Amino acid sequence: MSVHRPNQPVAPAPAVPRASMWNLARTSLAVLLILCLPLSLLKQIDALVAYMRPARILWSCAVVALIVAAAAILFAVVARSLGWILARVCRRERADALAWWVLLTPCAVLALWQLVAIVRLWLTVVTGLDPTVSAAARMFALVALVAGSWVLLRRQAWARFVGALDGWSASALPVVVLALSASFAAVVVQPPRALHSKADVAGAPSASGKPDIILITIDTLSEVDANVCGPGPTLMPHLREFAGAATCFTHFYAASNFTVPTTSTIETGTLPWTHRAVQPGADIDDAVRARGSLAGGLHAIGYATAAIGDNVLASPRHHGTDPAYGIDELVPSRSLANTVANHLSLFGDANATTLLAPVGVLGHALDVYLVGERAPDDPKTVYDRGLDVLHGGALSHPGFLWLHTFPPHAPYLPPPSTRHRLLAAGQLESWRDFLPENVRYAASQQPLVDKHRLRYRESILGADEALGTLLSRLERDGRFADSIIVVSSDHGESFEKGYMGHSGDRLDDPLLHIPLVVHLPGQHERRTIDDAVSQADLMPTLTELAGARPPQGVEGRSLAPALHGAPLAPRMVFSMSMERTSRFAPLRRGTYAVIDWPLKLVHRLDDGDDQLYDLSADPHELNDLASARPVDRARLLDAIRGALKDAERRRPGASR
Amino acid sequence: MFRPAVIALLLLATLPLDCNAYIDPNAGGILFQLLAPLLAAIAGVWMFLRRWISQAVRRLWNALTGRSDK
């Protein structure tokens, strides 16, 4: 701290640099482009190289740099406008200082947030320490940062800080200009898919005899909890009523344990070890996409196609299959993080959602408070938009409409109509009351996790109400009888064995066992199929029902004959968790499960551990039979190893 | 006046990474573990030794060209 001595001349107080449009834009560009974007890239570099080649990473950075530049200029325009207005009511210096504050506070919060998160991540992976605090403390940190900058604003330190930053941004200008020029050139050479034309929305007249296909996937819906097709009470009475005129599959298994790989399997009919969309940010492998997708195949035979959802990870934009859809929308969300992700998903081929993930994480910290007690996403929004598209003529006949809805996904905030049916009021009412998503928990926390499960089940009840309304409207509008209507999920949810949520490396039954109900045109009676079937079967089934042939390389089989009453030959069903597996490296990691009903073997490649269960006698998978039944274990292990070998052979670039 | 910012940074340092559902499990891999300290070291050296480096470069340049600072 400097002390003024009487015999020294008094230095003039530093002035805040002029808040001109140029100064503001130059500074925000420098902070966001030179600081924030590289920090984001650094934090996720290992994830990105698992599914993107270096050239694509660079191109993605170029696209994202232009998005960031647009945001920086928008910040500058807002700050300059405010400064201009304030200059009319207060001194110019004061107006300039406030304009800089408006510009720099969000930039500083973002940069500091990332910087500290990076330091923490590095310390966590290197030392193994993983300190956590409550959402309240995080919110306090945010408020303290903003308040701290406000305190600075009232001191000379603000003038010095802004002056230094302004000077730094001026010296960094050549770097910014170079980066933006290179980015612009990269985008001109290879424009993002968002700039390409979409598929024709109109169905072909020659295909007018074909049925409409409506595929409804409800996120995170475990059959273990919902019990749609099994005996006993259900949490989804409307769906069970719908199943009275449909085919119910009692043993339908997801291909993986979170949204990206499972919805990619629905779209391609291939398993995650083939389509390789196995990380949250990953898209479907180019070679698999080139062979065809569900929407692409239907569009080729005259279907108009539309996908409407509220989860970016289930979106065709994220998978890279969006060119096959005439309509591809994500409905508005109350969540700040989801809103940002939904908009960035327009540049899904540039992985913008992942590269700008820190913005989403910051939004998530705010969401916990802003969203409050109401769920951030409402299935009715998706269903209403779907009905608009269907009845408003935007999707002509024959049409394929895929609707994906978030609830009962966490946060488990059921609507008022189903809340407190299973868990009394006064606990787990607001987002901030819940444990973080997808976490391991201690045995002592099981009673609390059980309460989470009750709220989850109330969310299932809420999702069923919304589904019931949709199905009633389809029936009333005459769409029910003549359409193929499929209701399913992407994956389930775990509340046991020390893990709450989904993703991760577990492949327990609550994570994989999901409902599947298929209604065919003119079907009036219920049919039940007890054979184990795979999520990969959905694509070839719908393709065949529409009158087309599935593309080559599909790993699922068509269930169309079974839907018409033919017996189904027994077949093994595979599921897997491969989040740490690079698509460019040999298959040496991950957890793989094979179900040869009623036996299920789970094999971990990382440590060679095997677990064998008899699902009919032990549905909760408590009794490991790996030692007691070595012959079955060896047979199923051979099946996994053989399938892995085949998958490795198909991997582009694999040595044969 | 910096106390609020210091407190905020300390709290941010304990930011739970698992608060978001889909933090990529590959985050924090080998590349990150190598690059993060390397970049931090470069940034630190540049921040604290910038003046010394520029003086050293200038002295070297002057020695090579035979010119001297005025």
- The residues spanned by each domain of chain A are 21-191, 205-334+372-561, 580-656
- Are A224 and A232 contacting, i.e. CB atoms less than 8 angstroms apart? no
- Are A511 and B29 contacting, i.e. CB atoms less than 8 angstroms apart? no
Could you report the per-residue pLDDT of A82-97, keeping only the tens digit for each?
888 887 888 777 888 8
Could you report the per-residue pLDDT of A279-300, keeping only the tens digit for each?
999 999 999 999 999 999 999 9
Q: Poorest-confidence range of A174-183, A199-208, A512-521, A550-559? A: A199-208
Could you report the per-residue pLDDT of A145-199, keeping only the tens digit for each?
777 767 766 666 778 888 888 888 998 999 999 999 999 999 999 999 888 777 6
Q: What is the largest CA-CA distance in chain B?
A: 62
Whether residues A116 and B13 touch (CB distance < 8 A) is answered with yes
DSSP per-residue letters across A509-550: HHHHEE-EEEE-TT--S-EEEEEEEEGGGHHHHHHHHTT--P
Q: What SS3 class is residue A617?
A: coil
* Closest C-alpha to A341, from A327, A325, A357: A357
Give the minimum alpha-carbon distance from A146 to chain B in angstroms, rounded to a whole number.
9
Residue A259 has pLDDT above 90, yes or no: yes
More confident residue, A168 or A234: A234
Question: Residues of B with CB below 8 A from A437's CB?
Answer: 18-21
Give Cα separations from A309 to A256, A315, A377, A388 (angstroms).
20, 7, 10, 14
Residue A48 has pLDDT above 60, yes or no: yes
- Are A420 and A458 contacting, i.e. CB atoms less than 8 angstroms apart? yes
Q: Is residue B8 part of a domain?
A: no
Q: What is the mean pLDDT of chain A?
A: 90
More confident residue, B7 or A37: A37
Residue A2 has pLDDT above 50, yes or no: no
More confident residue, B42 or A653: B42
Residue A107's CB is within 10 A of a number of other CB atoms, namely 20
pLDDT at A328: 94
* Closest C-alpha to A101, from A112, A89, A93: A93
Give the minimum alpha-carbon distance from A119 to chain B in angstroms, rounded to a whole number.
8
- Are A272 and A578 contacting, i.e. CB atoms less than 8 angstroms apart? yes
**Number of domains, chain B:** 1
CB pairs under 8 A between A and B: 149
The type of residue at A499 is Y
Which residue of chain A comes nearest to B13, CA vs CA?
A116
> Which H or E run contains A649?
helix A630-650
- Contact residues for A414 (Cβ-Cβ < 8 A; gap 6+): A375, A407, A408, A455, A458, A459, A461, A462
More confident residue, B50 or A103: A103
CA A410/CA B20 separation, integer angstroms: 11
Which residue of chain B comes nearest to A116, CA vs CA?
B13
CA A329/CA A141 separation, integer angstroms: 35
Q: For residue A75, which phi and psi values (nearest 5 degrees)? A: -55, -45
> Which H or E run contains A357?
helix A357-370
Q: Is residue B23 part of a domain?
A: no
Residue A313 has pLDDT above 80, yes or no: yes
Mean pLDDT of A606-632: 96
Residue A248 has pLDDT above 70, yes or no: yes
Question: Residues of B with CB below 8 A from A281's CB?
Answer: 24
**DSSP bridge pairs for A499:** A440, A496
Domain span at residue B57 reads: 28-70
Residue % of chain A over a pLDDT of 70:
93
* Closest C-alpha to A295, from A307, A284, A283: A307
pLDDT at A96: 85
pLDDT at A200: 66
CA A310/CA A403 separation, integer angstroms: 9
Question: Residues of B with CB below 8 A from A50's CB?
Answer: 26
Count of residues making up chain B: 70
pLDDT at B62: 85
Whether residues A147 and B20 touch (CB distance < 8 A) is answered with no
pLDDT at B16: 47
**Is B31 at the interface with chain A, CB within 8 A?**
yes
Confidence of residue A1 (pLDDT cuts 50, 70, 90): very low
The b/e string for A51-68 (b: 16+ C-beta within 10 A; e otherwise) is bbeeebbebbbbbbbbbb
**Is B28 at the interface with chain A, CB within 8 A?**
yes
- Contact residues for A538 (Cβ-Cβ < 8 A; gap 6+): A215, A265, A266, A269, A294, A486, A488, A516, A556
Question: Residues of B with CB below 8 A from A410's CB?
Answer: 21
- Contact residues for A253 (Cβ-Cβ < 8 A; gap 6+): A512, A513, A514, A532, A533, A534, A535, A573, A575, A595
Whether residues A42 and B39 touch (CB distance < 8 A) is answered with yes
pLDDT at B21: 53
pLDDT at A322: 94
* Residue of B3, B9, B20 to mutate, interface with A, max A Cβ within 10 Å: B20
Q: For residue A304, which phi and psi values (nearest 5 degrees)? A: -80, 145
Mean pLDDT of A432-437: 87
Mean pLDDT of A584-596: 94
Residue A160's CB is within 10 A of a number of other CB atoms, namely 14
pLDDT at B45: 85
pLDDT at A179: 95
Hey, what are A352's tokens?
Answer: 């913008």
Assign domain A580-656 to a CATH class: alpha beta
Confidence of residue A223 (pLDDT cuts 50, 70, 90): very high
Q: Is residue B21 part of a domain?
A: no
Q: Is residue B2 part of a domain?
A: no
CA A164/CA A329 separation, integer angstroms: 44
Residue A7 has pLDDT above 70, yes or no: no
pLDDT at A351: 92
A205-334+372-561 falls under which CATH superfamily?
Alkaline Phosphatase, subunit A (3.40.720.10)
pLDDT at A251: 97
**Is B4 at the interface with chain A, CB within 8 A?**
yes
More confident residue, A52 or B67: A52
Whether residues B21 and A337 touch (CB distance < 8 A) is answered with no
Question: Residues of A with CB below 8 A from B43's CB?
Answer: none
**Is B47 at the interface with chain A, CB within 8 A?**
no
Which residue of chain B comes nearest to A312, CA vs CA?
B22
Whether residues A132 and B27 touch (CB distance < 8 A) is answered with no
Say what the ipTM of the complex is.
0.78
Could you report the per-residue pLDDT of A8-37, keeping only the tens digit for each?
555 555 678 888 899 999 999 999 999 889
